[in-house]
């Protein structure tokens, strides 16, 4: 499947734009096409960027290196969850030392996000800290990037975002630029069988957050609405099954599709308040990103309801509930059913931490895309309610 769609549509006084330039190849076994795809870019030497354990332990790296032949391949296996600026710098150093000409991101959102920046900056005299200062100023990529996701949640294979952590400042930074879209993404649900249960749970929650936030965002439009609701249908129908049986091919394929669609929708609408508040939870308290976003999602659903009256029926239908209150409870129960905490106190966060979370997660610009105006007191109320 190739998606290269740019639409500018005007209806009444509304103008919206939808674009995703990434070629997406989806289906069990599609990883076998990695050599063909890489060769199409004229590449001679690839750098595989991945995490520290899972892809090596499950033999995916060795398999990919074999599949890439005769293209020479090296691997950078040092990406941690919520990658730091230093990790990206080290990946660029290895890319240069090995004289690579294409980068492959393999794994969850963190390796894919690192690979995006390597592809953009490997030949530029720009520091990582400088790159993550908006607006992002680059005019070209230094090499192509192929995304091979292994988790059903981040949707990074279909977005122009890269997220990294400034460990000195304890801040998560987001780079957004059209050149951060991967050129090609290979979404092979067979790889998703490597996910442990906690990863299925936390990345699945991330995918739900992407789809719901894309659906209610101020920048939402008809195409993203359609994609976001379809993403939720796939996820809600299969999440518990995938969590209970990580070998269920059908459930994993459906989760992979839902995650992909969530990323596609969010790539055009951008995130809202739940994502903004999640950043300090991850940067300082090391809460996995998907869980950090989902913690506030049920209450932001209730908070935003007055401003999304025309969209409520769509959300209620995909959750098979009759009211926003029931929908909020639906999300909370789902989190409990997949073994995830729903309160900050369960994660070691107390009342005294809330002012710092608000200070570092709330600014008017970060929540400007939320459908309802959010003030610091609103964030405080929500955090106190889930304490």
Q: What are phi and psi of 345, to 5 degrees?
A: -60, -30
- Decide: 148 and 104 in contact? Cβ < 8 Å: yes
Residue-level pLDDT at 223: 96
Written as six digits, the tokens of 236 are 């809600």
Give the integer Cα–Cα distance in Å for 238 and 232: 10
Written as six digits, the tokens of 83 are 């990658």
- Decide: 271 and 369 in contact? Cβ < 8 Å: yes
Residue-level pLDDT at 208: 98
What ranges in 23-108 are assigned the alpha helix state H?
34-40, 54-57, 60-68, 85-97
**What's 136's DSSP letter?**
P
Q: Which of 102, 101, 98, 115 is nearest to 150 (CA)?
A: 115
Written as six digits, the tokens of 245 are 């049986």
User: Running along the chain, 387 residues long, what does each successive block of 10 average in pLDDT?
Assistant: 44 76 98 98 98 96 97 98 96 97 97 98 92 90 98 96 93 94 98 95 98 97 97 98 96 98 97 96 94 98 98 98 98 98 98 95 91 97 98
Report whether the peptide linkage leading into residue 70 is cis, meaning its omega lies within 30 degrees of zero: yes
Residue-level pLDDT at 8: 47
pTM for the full predicted model: 0.94
Question: What domains does the chain contain, in order, with CATH numbers?
Answer: 23-191 (3.40.50.1970), 197-385 (1.20.1090.10)
Residue-level pLDDT at 42: 97
Q: Which of 60, 59, 25 is nearest to 40 (CA)?
A: 25
Residue-level pLDDT at 11: 45
179: exposed, middle or buried (C-beta count within 10 Å: 0-12, 13-18, 19+)? middle
């Amino acid at each position: 499947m190739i998606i290269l769609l740019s639409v500018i549509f005007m209806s009444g006084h509304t103008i919206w734009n939808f674009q995703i330039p990434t070629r997406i190849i989806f289906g069990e076994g599609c990883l076998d096409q990695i050599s063909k795809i890489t060769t199409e870019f004229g590449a001679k030497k690839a750098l595989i960027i991945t995490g520290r354990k899972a892809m090596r332990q499950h033999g995916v790296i060795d398999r990919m290196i074999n599949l890439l032949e005769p293209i020479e391949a090296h691997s950078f296996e040092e990406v941690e969850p919520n990658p730091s600026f230093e990790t990206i710098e080290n990946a660029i150093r290895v890319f240069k030392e090995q004289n690579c000409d294409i980068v492959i991101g393999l794994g969850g959102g963190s390796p894919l996000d690192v690979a995006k920046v390597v592809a953009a900056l490997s030949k530029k005299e720009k520091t990582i800290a400088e790159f993550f200062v908006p607006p992002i100023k680059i005019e070209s990529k230094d090499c192509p990037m192929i995304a091979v996701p292994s988790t059903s949640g981040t949707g990074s294979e279909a977005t122009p975002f890269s997220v990294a952590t400034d460990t000195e400042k304890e801040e998560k930074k987001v780079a957004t630029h059209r050149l951060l879209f991967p050129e090609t993404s290979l979404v092979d649900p067979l790889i998703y069988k490597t996910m442990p249960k906690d990863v299925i749970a936390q990345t699945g929650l991330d995918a739900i957050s992407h789809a719901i936030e894309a659906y209610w965002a101020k920048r939402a439009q008809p195409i993203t609405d359609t994609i976001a609701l379809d993403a939720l249908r796939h996820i809600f129908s299969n999440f518990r099954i995938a969590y209970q049986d990580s070998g269920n091919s059908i459930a994993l394929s459906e989760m992979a599709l839902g995650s992909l669609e969530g990323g596609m929708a969010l790539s055009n609408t951008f995130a809202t308040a739940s994502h903004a508040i999640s950043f300090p939870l991850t940067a300082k308290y090391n809460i996995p990103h998907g869980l950090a976003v989902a913690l506030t999602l049920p209450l932001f659903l209730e908070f935003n309801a007055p401003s999304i009256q025309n969209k409520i029926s769509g959300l209620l239908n995909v959750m098979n509930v009759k009211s926003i209150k029931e929908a909020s409870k639906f999300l909370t129960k789902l989190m409990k059913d997949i073994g995830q905490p729903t309160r900050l106190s369960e994660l070691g966060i107390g009342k005294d931490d809330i002012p710092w979370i608000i200070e570092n997660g709330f600014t008017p610009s970060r929540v400007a895309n939320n459908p309802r105006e959010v003030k610091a007191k609103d964030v405080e109320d929500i955090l106190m309610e889930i304490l």
